[in-house]
Amino acid sequence: MADDGYCEEKLRNAVDALATSAEPIQERLFTAAIALHVLSPEDFSDEGLRKTFGALEDMVTWRVADADEGTLRATTGSLSDEQASAAATMIFRLYVGLTLRR
């Protein structure tokens, strides 16, 4: 299990990727997902955050990759704007939920 500070750092990087680029939401979500790929649900000490992170992982890794594009790229690239926005909102809520616990 990672400590909360490490999880917070990775979530902050993901939020930054979502908030500071003019790229389409799918591309920003891909960059955010890359920042989070080192985490797992078990890294979160709070049960609610653990479940939310697990749901987020499912949202960005369900599609089988073609050739060498990778699962994250394949999945995030195939999400609608609404789906990608929902995943981005989950990342933000994870970040806020973790930082409010501190």
User: What's the pLDDT score for residue 67?
Assistant: 76
Q: Which amino acid is at 38?
A: V
The CA distance from 65 to 82, in Å, is 21
User: What's the pLDDT score for residue 53?
Assistant: 96
Number of domains in the chain: 1
Q: Print the domain residue range for 85.
A: 4-101
User: What's the pLDDT score for residue 102?
Assistant: 66
Q: What is the pLDDT along the chain (102 residues), one digit of tens a residue?
A: 778 899 999 999 999 999 999 999 999 999 999 999 999 999 998 999 999 999 999 999 888 877 777 888 889 999 999 999 999 999 999 999 999 876
Whole-number Cα distances in Å, 84 to 1, 13, 26, 39: 27, 17, 6, 19
| 70 dihedral zone (left: phi>0; alpha: psi -120 to 50; beta) | left
